[in-house]
Amino acid sequence: MELTHVIGERRSIRKFREDSIPDKTINELLNAARLAPSGSNLQPTRFVVVKSPSVRAELGACTPCKFITRAPVIFVCCADRRSLSTRDKRVGELVEAGAFNDIDMDPTDSKTYGNTQMNDSAVRAYLSMNAAIAIEHMVLRAVDFGLGSCWIGMFDRKKVRQILDIDNDIHIVTLLPVGYPDQSPPQRPRVPLDRLVLKTV
Ligand SMILES: Cc1cc2nc3c(=O)[nH]c(=O)nc-3n(C[C@H](O)[C@H](O)[C@H](O)COP(=O)(O)O)c2cc1C
């Protein structure tokens, strides 16, 4: 599907048909996430793939958005804090792969501009930013498969952590129910294009 069409047709879908999603398609969605860019190529995004109806029901009890239980798959989208300690290795791989060959860039300056000393909330923000890109890759790829999804930010992270037995090094970013849409909503309101530009200099 044309990218412009995918971007234009995507909606947050809150009503799903019961049809299950083939495993091959689930893997394609995960692969779309895998291909996302990330700071220093840390690739911190991780997922718990929830297909079990009983676990979906348990997740439904963690959010006011009860509709998630009717999606055949809920991706619990996370980021692994431990990925931050792999920075040197990941940057080494980039160097090895030639990412900076013949590029006007001073790698010795990265300590000045890099996020080397982050407090806990800065770490969460940084990881969430990276995970968000991967998650939106999945969201758009899902449209390509005729699937719908909805970002869920309103949920009790402690409860989800407990239900899925997720360790404390994993930051839970969002829930993403995915399924075949049982609704075709019109485009939701957006601010006009000129509101996006603060200034052009
Ligand atoms: C970070 C984030 C968190 C969101 N959290 C929720 C949520 O908890 N429940 C919900 O129903 N929709 C949620 N949404 C969906 C938004 O309400 C939706 O994207 C917005 O209203 C625009 O509609 P559209 O996605 O159909 O264009 C969230 C979206 C984002 C990006």
CA of 31 to the centre of ligand 1 (A): 23
Q: Check pLDDT > 80 for residue 114.
A: no
CATH architecture label of 3-195: 3-Layer(aba) Sandwich (3.40)
CA of 2 to the centre of ligand 1 (A): 23
Average pLDDT, the chain: 96
pLDDT in tens, 154-197: 999 999 999 999 999 999 999 999 999 999 999 999 999 999 99
Structural domain boundaries in the chain: 3-195
Residue 111 has a pLDDT of: 67
Ligand 1 proximity of 190 Cβ (cutoff 6 Å): no
Q: Check pLDDT > 70 for residue 86.
A: yes
Atom 19, ligand 1: which residue's CA is nearest?
12
pLDDT in tens, 46-80: 999 999 999 999 999 999 999 999 999 999 999 99
Residue 147 has a pLDDT of: 98
Atom of ligand 1 lying closest to residue 14 CA: 11
pLDDT in tens, 121-130: 999 999 999 9
Confidence grade of residue 106 (pLDDT, cut at 50, 70, 90): confident
Helix H, strand E, coil C: the string for the chain is CCHHHHHHHCCECCCECCCCCCHHHHHHHHHHHHCCCCHHHCCCEEEEEECCHHHHHHHHCCCCCHHHHHCCEEEEEEEEHHHHHHHHHHHHHHHHCCCCCCCCCCHHHHHHHCCCCCCHHHHHHHHHHHHHHHHHHHHHHHHHCCCEECCECCCCHHHHHHHHCCCCCEEEEEEEEEECECCCCCCCCCCCHHHCCCCCC
Ligand 1 proximity of 11 Cβ (cutoff 6 Å): yes
Ligand 1 proximity of 65 Cβ (cutoff 6 Å): yes
